[in-house]
Structure 1
Amino acid sequence: MNFKLVFPGGYYIPTEDDFADLPGYDGNPSITDHNLDVYVLFEDGRVYVGTAFTVANVAQLLAKDGFYFWASDMFIVKDLAQQTIRDAVQKAIADSCFSAIFSFIGFAAAIFPDFVSYELIE
């Protein structure tokens, strides 16, 4: 099944240089300690949303409260490399659990104001 990933907030993973001067920075590379919202766009125009979290990010967020952590449409990946996220989505589709993880939010023409066609989405 063909799909494309769209990052509604942009695909930006802060680098170590972005954090190096911040108090308390522990030196973890952010590609393994971060989260990203992801739209999954299918050829027929359906759009689903999910949020990719790394294990380290979940641990950090849990440590803030100490009791629990949850997020709707959450899936956990080893890192936030685009290929890792793509592979995770593909595996969720193959394992028939995609719709349990991701929420349908509408069709591309309604979600993306400048949407022309699936082929033009990079």
Structure 2
Amino acid sequence: MIDKKHSIWIEAEQWAEGEWNIHDANTDVIVTPPDGSSWVASFITYNNIKTLTEKNQQTGECLHGKYFWGSDMILVDQCSRDRIEEVIDNLIIQGDFERIFSKCDVSNL
């Protein structure tokens, strides 16, 4: 498990009640390890890619849904806190955390 000294902020936890559908969502996540640095990534469910593509086909964004991109994107089956923590734990254990998350200055967010 993640060292209890790591702080994990999940944007979706700030949303109004009922706005967070863990099976069709995207949310930014900021991890702050004990050294005080901040690291950010965007967690996006597989279902949300489909939802966003369909929206973009209607709005004209991304060449009417012909492509999709996201910086620091991590695709997941669900955007629950448990799953996000599980993925972060795995990335730390595998040594991939700093390759996938981007170091950030939270004062700019």
Which TM-score applies when normalising by structure 2?
A: 0.74
Cα distance, 1:8 vs structure 2: 4.7
Alignment partner, residue 51 of structure 2: 60
Q: 1:87 to 1:9 in 2, by over 3 A?
A: closer
Gaps in structure 1 of 5+ consecutive residues: 19-28, 113-122
Deviation track 1:39-84 (CA, whole Å, cap 9, x = no partner) reads 0010110110111101000122223233111100111111111011
Q: 1:13 to 1:96 in 2, by over 3 A?
A: farther
Cα RMSD of the aligned pairs, angstroms, is: 2.3
Alignment partner, residue 30 of structure 1: 21
- The answer to whether residue 8 in structure 2 is matched with residue 5 in structure 1 is yes
Alignment partner, residue 69 of structure 1: 68
Q: Secondary structure at the match of 1:32?
A: coil
In 1: Cα distance, 2:84 partner to 2:16 partner:
13
State whether residues 14 and 30 of structure 1, in contact with CA within 8 Å, keep that contact through their aligned partners in structure 2. no
Cα distance, 1:105 vs structure 2: 0.8
Q: Whose radius of gyration is greater, 1 or 2?
A: 1
- The answer to whether residue 50 in structure 2 is matched with residue 51 in structure 1 is no
Q: 1:14 to 1:61 in 2, by over 3 A?
A: farther
Alignment partner, residue 116 of structure 1: none
Gaps in structure 2 of 5+ consecutive residues: 57-63
Q: Secondary structure at the match of 1:43?
A: coil
In 2: Cα distance, 1:13 partner to 1:33 partner:
16
Which TM-score applies when normalising by structure 1?
A: 0.67
Q: Percent of aligned pairs with the same residue?
A: 27
Alignment partner, residue 78 of structure 2: 79
Q: Larger % of helix: which?
A: 2
Cα distance, 1:90 vs structure 2: 1.0
Q: Secondary structure at the match of 2:15?
A: coil
Q: 1:12 to 1:101 in 2, by over 3 A?
A: same
Q: Count residues with an aligned counterpart.
A: 96
Cα distance, 1:10 vs structure 2: 4.2
